Amino acid sequence: MSETDATAGTPAGHTAAADDTIHLELKTGTVTIKLRPDLAPLHVERFRTLAAEGFYDNVVFHRVIDGFMAQSGDPTGTGTGGSQLPDLKSEFTTKAKFVRGTLGAARTAHPHSANSQFFIMFAPAPSLDGQYTIFGEVVDGMELVDQIKRGAGGSGMVSDPDRIVKMRPASASA
């Protein structure tokens, strides 16, 4: 990616690297996420915007399936909610795969229905490749993600779920 591409859309006074790094605070510590605007610029911008606004603070991990993924981003905690912003057009790619630590955009059966919900992979899931939008990856603290409370049964819905304490772009504290 060229230097121009890397800084396009970056607010004055912020670096692309800081804007593309998110700190996800869990009760067990801080997870560092690197966003991938090269793969999904619309999803990255949405995630960055919502994180900067504090949208994700205190939101639960409502669906957590051992050996698969942890899902959050629904302010209602039911798995059916989202932000007030419009849904996003899908940004599926074959350039990246769903592996441990990948951030994907959760959606309904309709490909263009992602909004604010996201998931973090515990393990590779080739069945998701090219079917869901990848927009980031955990670069530090995956062992903390591994400690998120798991759900019961096939749905993975969690009773008394763990929460996001706080989530902000690194540039917000720079």
pLDDT digits (tens, 9 = 90+) for 107-121: 999 999 999 999 999
State the pLDDT at residue 173: 66
Share of the chain above pLDDT 70, in %: 89
User: For 111-132, what is the HEC assignment?
Assistant: CCCECCCEEEECCCCHHHCCCC
Over residues 121-171, the pLDDT tens digits come to: 999 999 999 999 999 999 999 999 999 999 988 899 999 999 999 999 999
Confidence of residue 6 (pLDDT cuts 50, 70, 90): very low
| 124 belongs to a structural domain | yes
Is residue 9 in a domain? no
Instruction: With respect to residue 13, please indicate whether it lies within any of the assigned structural domains.
Output: no
Residue 53 within any structural domain of the chain: yes
Q: What pLDDT shows up at residue 154?
A: 84
149 falls within a domain: yes
Q: Does residue 6 lie within any of the structural domains?
A: no
Four-point Cα dihedral 86, 87, 90, 95, nearest 10: 80
Pick the more confident residue, 104 or 155.
104
Domain count, the chain: 1
CATH of the domain at 79: 2.40.100.10
**Residue 11 in domain:** no
- Asked if pLDDT for residue 8 goes beyond 60, the answer is no
For range 8-19, the mean pLDDT: 52
Residue span of the structural domain in which 121 resides: 19-173
pLDDT of residue 28: 98
Strand, coil or helix: 70:
strand
> What mean pLDDT is predicted for residues 83-91?
98
Residue 2 maps to a domain: no
pLDDT for 174 beyond 70: no
- Report the pLDDT value the prediction gives residue 19, as an integer from 0 to 100: 83
